[in-house]
Structure 1
């Protein structure tokens, strides 16, 4: 009989099992959709709409979009208490965090995160 993942995890030493679980969480976190991110913060679409001062239907449309303005995405993440960073990765160079997009500097970002997000959300 083939061993299940749970069986294999139970056989691992506690320290190794914890490392595997942490790494699994990291991998899952890299692939979250906006909907998944909202749910991970225990927010409903209605709750998110209230934070963004928009309608629930707008949150639904926003979460289904594959193309967003950076300012819209930044507002969405900011409403949950996070910050948005844009990183450019190249095969032959170190990663670069892009700044100054949409006229925001690091100082502006920290100020924006504390203020209420803009009402306009592209749809």
Structure 2
């Protein structure tokens, strides 16, 4: 039988739960930071080759949206 995260966490003391949550928060923050660094590196690399970086979302019925702001990532470093 599969257990939910809540069921698994119930097996730990409140102190252990707090430690687990703190570690999870730290890992999430690190992942977000790494993700942003990768985007900035990619933007810099493409710009170095003379190109530009765009994210385009395409939807049914030929609806297309360009998501702006990715090119500005390299300016944040």
Using structure 2 for the length normalisation, give the TM-score: 0.46
Structure of higher CA gyration radius: 2
**Structure ranking higher in strand proportion:** 2
